[in-house]
A and B are shown apart, each in its own frame.
Chain A
Amino acid sequence: MEAVTKLDVDAVRADFPILRRRIGDRQIAYLDSAATSQKPVQVVEAMRRFTEHSNANISRSVHTLGAEATEAYEGARARVAAFIGAPSADEVVFTKNSTEAINLLAYAFQNATLDPHADPRFRLAPGDEIVVTEMEHHANLIPWQQLALRTGATLKWIGITDHGRLDLEAIPEVITERTKIVSFTHVANLLGTVNPTSQITARAREVGALVGLDASQSVPHLPVNVAGLGVDFIAFTGHKMLGPTGIGVLWAKADLLDAMPPFLTGGSMIKTVTMEKTTFADAPAKFEAGTPPIAEAVGLAAAVDYLDGLGMENVRAHEKELAGYMLEKLETVDGLTIIGPRVPIGRSATVSFTFEGVHPHDVGQVLDSEAIAVRVGHHCAKPTCDRFGVNATTRASAYVYNTHEEIDRLVEALGKVRKVFG
């Protein structure tokens, strides 16, 4: 049954020691990469080597270690920029995670709104509109909700169809002349929907709105090229793409970063400081106050190297195959309802479902007894749950190291769930 993809899954798996872990007497089947991915030895080793050999603070010291650390950190920035097709490394801002990256952006609007001299593209007034979608992770909803509350702007959203797709027909009505920013998810973390971007970006351009993309679930899984996407900002996080926790990325066009007020202020983001006044460094330093996650940046660069080594087209093909297989197999389970698109087109290998009469917590518990790791709950997407009238779902998500056999185990274990709660 193994598909013809160019990914050598056995070789990939050999790089992830955690996948050999046993829970009870079974080898783990890790189907929770949409929450966080596992890390290959190459990432762990790169971070260890840096810490043992070159650790120092960056951009401060003239000593050898300081220079090496600075070079490693800035090298990681360049590596990430190349990976997403950014025209310049200076357009890559390192943050703590996607959530912080999106907050950085939302606070740029808020801070600009408080400053009459700020760039008008970032200034909001009552009546202005912020647009998101109903399928956002809370990370790309709450910052905008709060921004609207604080500025008097109106939060609007594009709804979801019964098939788990964005209601694109509503675009002209939702995105209007009053819209200042549209921020939407590239790949929905609960539904697994891969959203087409062109209609939204085209409409946003027409009305002069900026466009942000929550790429947390796309950059790890698909080839993402910011130039090709035609958006103004993207946010993603290291730990979902084989990298460490504690590092995320905001990419933005250079002229926008120049226009944006800083979010966090303090050390290493300044040009000059007096007791009365500060002038800020140029981007990206302007947005990286304090000592950044240096070893984590090194780890992220190693993760990017690893993904590039596999080839993002191969990653995508592998996951498309797994998505198709998972959907087909899950459809055969009695009482199981898929929440999200039921066909492997415009879809990631993240599949949420409900199981008639059994709460997701109980499903997850029984699966754990079979050493199968899935996520249960509302997946930080309560409005999506509400849209489909469910409190929670069980979600299986696959990545580069997952196999057909693991999906077979998932389906088989669902039979056991039925036995316990039948």
Chain B
Amino acid sequence: MNLDELYQEVILDHYKRPRGAGLREPYEGESHQVNPTCGDEITLRVHVDGDKVADVSYENVGCSISKASASVMYELVNGSTVDDALARLAEFTALMNSKGQAEGDEETLEDAVAFAGVSKYPMRVKCALLGWMAFKDALVRAEASIPGRTDA
């Protein structure tokens, strides 16, 4: 197995210097996700302003893959529209389920294409998706708390 393919420089960089870490106010939705097989955890908050994801803040413990993935996700969705964020979520999920067959679109996924190699390791896909699952759940909660936006 090629370790470099899994632990790309960009992944190790996000792991060592996570972007956007820490829990912040205000937020409308919060989610706590756990990976029961390894005990990795994340608490993630979403602040929605109009049609924008105005802030994503989080606290997590876990492996390099799960921590780097949350950091990369922060960069991708923070400040984007809710619709774009959901599109990135769908794209990243598809990449993770590709079993090594997809490369990911660098135009849209940016640093997250570095996780393409992770999709070859079924035991690690859940690590990469943990933060995204928390984002999805927190967004649903946030939208539910905003009048007129219960269709998300």
Contacts and interface: CB of A to CB of B under 8 A. Distances in A.
A359 B64 contact: yes
Contact of B39 (A365, A378, A420): A378
Contacts of B65: 361-362
B39 A382 contact: yes
Interface stretch (B1-9, B47-55, B104-112, B139-147): B1-9
Given A361-B63, A361-B124, A421-B64, A376 B3 contact: no
Contacts of A359: 40, 62-64
19 contacts: A359-B62, A361-B38, A361-B64, A361-B65, A362-B63, A362-B65, A365-B6, A365-B7, A369-B1, A376-B38, A377-B39, A378-B38, A378-B39, A391-B39, A391-B61, A392-B38, A392-B40, A421-B12, A421-B64
A361 B65 CA distance: 9
Residue of B3, B38, B39 with most chain A CB atoms under a 10 A cut-off: B39
Interface string A311-323: 0000000000000
B81 to A, nearest CB: 33
A369 B39 contact: no
A369 B127 CA distance: 18
A377 B64 CA distance: 14
Interface of B: 1-3, 6-7, 12, 37-41, 61-66, 121, 124, 127
A360 interface: yes
Contacts of A116: none
A387 B38 CA distance: 16
A58 B124 CA distance: 43
A309 interface: no
A365 B15 CA distance: 16
A210 B44 CA distance: 46
Contacts of B2: 369
> What's the interface size class on A, roughly?
20 to 34
Contacts of B41: 391
Nearest to B121: A365
B70 to A, nearest CB: 13
A364 to B, nearest CB: 9
A33 B12 CA distance: 31
A377 B3 contact: no
Chain B contact residues: over half helix, strand or loop, or mixed? mixed
A24 B3 CA distance: 12
A128 interface: no
Residue of B2, B12, B38 with most chain A CB atoms under a 10 A cut-off: B38
A139 to B, nearest CB: 15
A366 interface: yes
A359 B11 CA distance: 14
A56 interface: no
Contact of A377 (B7, B37, B61, B124): B37
A420 B38 contact: no
Nearest to B127: A361
B1 A392 contact: no
Residue of A361, A369, A382 with most chain B CB atoms under a 10 A cut-off: A361
Given A23-B1, A377-B38, A382-B39, 9 more contacts: A361-B40, A361-B66, A362-B7, A365-B3, A368-B1, A377-B37, A391-B40, A391-B41, A421-B12
A235 interface: no
Contacts of A368: 1
A385 B3 contact: no
Contacts of A361: 38, 40, 62-66, 124, 127
A362 B63 CA distance: 6
A417 to B, nearest CB: 10
Residue of A23, A362, A420 with most chain B CB atoms under a 10 A cut-off: A362
A361 B7 CA distance: 12
B3 A369 contact: yes
Given A369-B1, A369-B3, A360 B38 contact: yes
Contacts of B63: 359-362
* Closest CB pairs A-B (n = 10): A361-B63, A359-B63, A377-B38, A391-B39, A378-B39, A369-B3, A392-B39, A369-B1, A362-B64, A362-B63
Contacts of B40: 359, 361, 391-392
A63 B39 CA distance: 52
Nearest to A393: B39
A420 B3 contact: yes
Interface string A328-372: 000000000000000000000000000000111110011011000
A376 B61 CA distance: 15
B80 to A, nearest CB: 29
Contacts of A23: 1
Nearest to B38: A377
Given A361-B63, A421-B12, A385 B39 contact: yes
A23 B63 CA distance: 23
Contacts of B39: 377-378, 382, 385, 391-392
A360 B38 CA distance: 9
Contacts of B12: 420-421
B41 to A, nearest CB: 8
A219 to B, nearest CB: 26
